Amino acid sequence: MLDDSSVIRQAAARAAAPPVERDARLLAYLRDRLARPELRLAGPALPVLGGTEARILSFQLENAPPPFEGPLILRQFRPKMTPERCAVEAGIHDAVSAAGIETPGCLLNEPDRRVLGGAFLVLEHVEGEAMLGEIAVAALGSKLRPGRVGRALRDAAGAWSGLPDALARTVLRLAELDGEAVEAAIAARGGRPEFLGVD
């Protein structure tokens, strides 16, 4: 049995692999997990803006069964992040969705960091923009070219202006969640609710 540091080293090596290798490992995993050897990727997995704790990629499968036939998201956690986080996030997605709050459905959660270089979730793709999208774009520097710093800062400030209302609405809806239902959903995914301090 591998100790945790060995697993992290293996995961880090896989996380640093070229995208073509990552895509091949993802496809092999999904073929095996879904028992569908005829699965193919419709194209390379493409980065999606966002994700401070995880790499987020968009991809689509060909010859996939429902509910995997549409656009999908791979949320891959960093190699050193505990795999428990994967099960907890999957359970939270389930609980939030069951409460009628729009959220991507979590189709798979894989805690084994050695598969892709970090524990990961496969989620349904939901159209829209990240809540902090404009701020993230400005912070990442795509608008921070010489002579445009002022504009980037104004754009970021404009994005922030609507944030308090959006956050307040979301927090109020999430506050209505039944704590026991959240704990049950996390446990159903193999996680421990106490991992994130769910009360």
Can you tell me whether residue 49 is helix, strand or coil? coil
> In order of start, what are the domains of the chain with their CATH numbers?
4-128 (3.30.200.20), 133-161 (no CATH)
In this structure, what DSSP letter does residue 65 have? P
> What local confidence, expressed as pLDDT, does residue 81 receive?
84
> What local confidence, expressed as pLDDT, does residue 161 receive?
64
Helix (H) or strand (E) holding 123: strand 120-124
The tens-digit pLDDT sequence of the chain (199 residues) is: 455 677 777 766 666 678 899 999 999 999 999 999 999 999 999 998 776 778 899 999 999 999 999 999 999 998 888 888 889 999 999 998 888 888 889 999 999 988 998 899 999 998 876 555 555 555 554 444 445 555 555 665 565 566 667 667 777 777 888 888 888 899 999 888 776 554 4
Note the helical H segments in 34-132: 84-98
Query: Residue 41 forms beta bridges with which residues?
Result: 61
Closest CA to 139 of 165, 163, 157: 157
